[in-house]
Structure 1
Amino acid sequence: MQSFFAEWPRAEQAGDVARLDRLLTDDFVGTGPLGFTLPRPAWLARFGQGLRYDDFSVEDLQPHEHGDTAVVLGRHRQTGSFGGAPIPQVLQATHVLTRDGAGWRLAAMHMSFVAGTPGAPPLPAGAGGREPVDGV
């Protein structure tokens, strides 16, 4: 699994659609922080539609393996733009991976804003002014 999380962020940052094509399952679906879902073809097409990363990493990985399936929590730290507009700099994500003969592949992902971080909505009223997790 470590090799997947070394390769996948590099492919995302580079916009390497050929490498991402190998790293996603055929029925992959990604859910963005605003609730939209992208099936595999739309996920791969994002770079041709204006997505550009200056930096992309996944940190604070918390894997939960169950046979040939793993649910991995992690934090995306990224800078870049989509169609010229800046993207959120920090997202919390749940990654669902499956292992096959080629190694680990990403089957699904759900991303969420981290309130109070650049590009995310502000902390909601009544949140008690709590600081974001890990200072971000």
Structure 2
Amino acid sequence: MNTIDQTIALWADAERGCDARTTETLLTEDFQGIGPVGFQLSRDAWIGRLSSGDLRYDELSLNEVTIREHGDCALVIARLDVRGEARGHPLPTTRTTFSVVSVGGDWRIAGIQHSFIAGAPGSPVPGPR
């Protein structure tokens, strides 16, 4: 049995290392990922991006993490600070929401949504003036 904190920490380590095998164990079968510009990826596509060679992280950290648990599900909201590239484009810092569910006593990630933070590195949206 794992905790929500452990699941999110394992995800961050796996994402940082482009570790498709570990990521596969952390995602539900019906996982959906949504990128900062609205693209949607299935579980297989999300895992595939880790092993394609198109994604590279120089740095990845989760900050400002809050967890709101509701029975067998939880929302985890964090600031995802990154440096790296996807298909030759710089990765943006995002506010990221994880939908986490309990499956057989273990916490799994059912969804991830990244949203630009105005003014943050990589955001096309300028910060407040």
**What TM-score do the two structures reach when normalised by structure 1?**
0.86
Aligned partners of 1:109, 1:122: CA distance in 2, in Å?
21
Matched, 1:81 2:85: yes
* Structure 2: segments with no counterpart, 5+ residues: none
Which of the pair has the greater relative contact order for Cα pairs under 8 Å at 6+ separation? 2
Q: 1:101: Cα distance to partner?
A: 2.5
* Structure 1: segments with no counterpart, 5+ residues: 130-136
Amino acid at match of 1:36: F
2:56 to 52, 57, 60: 52
**What TM-score do the two structures reach when normalised by structure 2?**
0.90
Cα RMSD of the aligned pairs, angstroms, is: 1.4
Residues 1-136 of structure 1: pairs in structure 2 closer than 5 A: 1-47=4-50, 48-88=52-92, 90-101=93-104, 103-123=106-126, 127=128, 129=129
Aligned partners of 1:35, 1:84: CA distance in 2, in Å?
19
Amino acid at match of 2:85: S
Aligned partners of 1:62, 1:93: CA distance in 2, in Å?
11
Q: 1:104: Cα distance to partner?
A: 1.0
- Corresponding pairs, count: 125
Amino acid at match of 2:82: Q
Note if contact 2:23-2:47 (Cα within 8 Å) is conserved in structure 1: yes
Rg (Cα) greater in structure: 1
Percent of pairs with identical residues: 38
